[in-house]
Amino acid sequence: MAFEGLSERLENSFKKLRAKGKLTEADVKEAMREVRLALLEADVNYKVAKEFTNKVTERAIGDDVMENLTPGQMVIKIVNEELTELMGGTESRLSIAKHPPTVLMMCGLQGSGKTTHSGKLALKLKKDGHRPLLVACDVYRPAAIKQLQVVGSQIDVPVFEMGTINPVNIAEEAVKHAKDHGYDYVIIDTAGRLHIDEALMEELQNIRSTVHPNEILLVIDAMTGQDAVNVAKSFNESLGIDGVILTKLDGDTRGGAALSVRAVTGKPIKFVGTGEKLENLEVFHPARMASRILGMGDVLSFIEKAEMALDEKKAAELEKKLAKNKFDFNDLLDQFEQIERMGSLKDTIKMIPGIGKQIKDEDIDERAFDRLRCIIYSMTKQERANPEIINPSRKRRIAAGSGTSIEDVNKLMTQFKQMQKMVKQVGGRKGPKVSKKMRR
């Protein structure tokens, strides 16, 4: 998860501040020196880190903070506000064409996650009720068209391709095709290179001046830190971008790119990629991200993730079963799947305020579900649907089949019984309603 080290270091400096009843100017300056070091260590651009801490110091000293009853808390509040501001203040939405289709042009270096994120965006738009069309304009990498087609077929979104002819013509034809066939979004997956070069920029400029995209979205890899920020700067200078999609935030432990992109390029991060699955795309909310960095959790994103992962049909089926007080191992398997669709277990749990800070990564076993699933898969169909028939000899067989121990099976059975009890209580109350909003 991004910002791990940063959160910890900030937490340490804030602890010292909180402990003080009264703050002096020197206390604030010392804390900000620590904050600056923490930011630099998180790979935040040097100038950005310096300006940030200067701003916070100025506000903290100027705002009568020192007279406040809880001055430490006030400084943290200022840091929170300034972090939010640093990342763009409010979230930036995609612009929409007056006359459809809205054209989104995806660009970026090879391997940054362009194709994956073209798919993620298409899926998001589709879930929001739109009809997106994906367009294969990476005509140089032999497997690129195929890769986009695979992504398209996974989410049931059509892919427009014309082989390896001039990408400018493909983009132009794709927009016509979208108009003729009622697609309201066109997502153009352009070619990347290992490094920025003139030929690439020229091609992108040609596509831009031919199809006039509503949004030029630059895809950058968070794990490459300041390099990603430099790439963003160059693309913005040569091509002009409207926003950034910051990918692989799940694998980035430092978070420097997320914090510097806006200040260095003047362009906002619009989305972040948080995993390899096509569901793992989040709208970038600066305020929520700031709270996450400061270890205050992010309950809104947690709820949104849960909503995204919710499979309507399965939820309705579960609702019916709960109403009849029925909950078996098949339902439990479904629940595992839904939780896993929310992305990495670690990242998801850390969004819950108050919990994130208490739980260390090593406490979370990402593979716990696999083990439980293995046990459940070793049950017969009949046992899964009627857990009450699982007697000691069946347990022995299940443990042997799943390569676990009788204790493991017993533990699962006990937990499962507790769940059933809870389900009975909920079911008894006429069955829980999954709200319309949750189903979206």
Binding residues for GTP: 108-115, 189-193, 247-250
Instruction: Give the per-residue contact string, 110-149, with ligand GDP (x = CB under 6 A; - = no).
Output: xxxxxxx---------------------------------
Q: Which residue has the tokens 């309507």?
A: 312
Instruction: Give the per-residue contact string, 383-402, with ligand GDP (x = CB under 6 A; - = no).
Output: --------------------
Query: What CA–CA distance (Å, rounded) separates 261 from 256?
Result: 8
Written as one letter, the residue type at 218 is L
Q: CB–CB of 343/322 below 8 Å?
A: no
Q: Taking contact as CB under 6 A, which single stretch among the options 53-61, 272-280, 383-391, 420-428 is the one that binds ligand GDP? A: 272-280
Identify residues 223-262 at the interface with ligand GDP (CB under 6 A): 247-248, 250-251
Written as one letter, the residue type at 16 is K
Identify residues 138-197 at the interface with ligand GDP (CB under 6 A): 192
Written as one letter, the residue type at 270 is K
Query: What CA–CA distance (Å, rounded) separates 205 from 136?
Result: 17
Q: Taking contact as CB under 6 A, which single stretch among the options 27-35, 168-176, 269-277, 290-298 is the one that binds ligand GDP? A: 269-277
CB of 420 to ligand GDP, least distance (A): 36
Q: Integer distance in angstroms from the first to the last C-alpha of the chain? A: 28
Q: Which residues pair with 440 in a beta bridge?
A: none
CB of 276 to ligand GDP, least distance (A): 4
Q: Which residues pair with 221 in a beta bridge?
A: 247
CB of 252 to ligand GDP, least distance (A): 9
In degrees and rounded to multiples of 5, residue 143 shows phi and psi of: -90, -5
CB of 344 to ligand GDP, least distance (A): 9
The residue count for binding ligand GDP (CB under 6 A) is: 18
Does 348 interact with ligand GDP (rule: CB under 6 A)? no
CB of 113 to ligand GDP, least distance (A): 3
Q: CB–CB of 91/97 below 8 Å?
A: no
Closest CA to 65 of 55, 75, 76, 54: 75
Q: Taking contact as CB under 6 A, which single stretch among the options 57-65, 271-279, 393-401, 432-440 is the one that binds ligand GDP? A: 271-279
Q: Which tokens hold the place of 99?
A: 């006359």
CB of 269 to ligand GDP, least distance (A): 13
Does 380 interact with ligand GDP (rule: CB under 6 A)? no
Query: What CA–CA distance (Å, rounded) separates 221 from 223?
Result: 5
Task: Give the nearer residue to ligand GDP in terms of CB position, either 38 or 228.
Answer: 228
Q: Which residue has the tokens 């400096």?
A: 13
Task: Give the nearer residue to ligand GDP in terms of CB position, either 92 or 116.
Answer: 116
Task: Give the nearer residue to ligand GDP in terms of CB position, either 247 or 420.
Answer: 247
In degrees and rounded to multiples of 5, residue 157 shows phi and psi of: -120, 130
In degrees and rounded to multiples of 5, residue 218 shows phi and psi of: -95, 130
Q: CB–CB of 50/36 below 8 Å?
A: yes
Does 273 interact with ligand GDP (rule: CB under 6 A)? yes
Q: Which residue is nearest to ligand GDP (CB)?
A: 273
Query: What CA–CA distance (Å, rounded) separates 147 from 113?
Result: 12
Q: CB–CB of 260/234 below 8 Å?
A: no
CB of 362 to ligand GDP, least distance (A): 20
Task: Give the nearer residue to ligand GDP in terms of CB position, either 112 or 402.
Answer: 112
- Binding interface with ligand GDP (CB under 6 A): 108, 110-116, 192, 247-248, 250-251, 273-276, 280
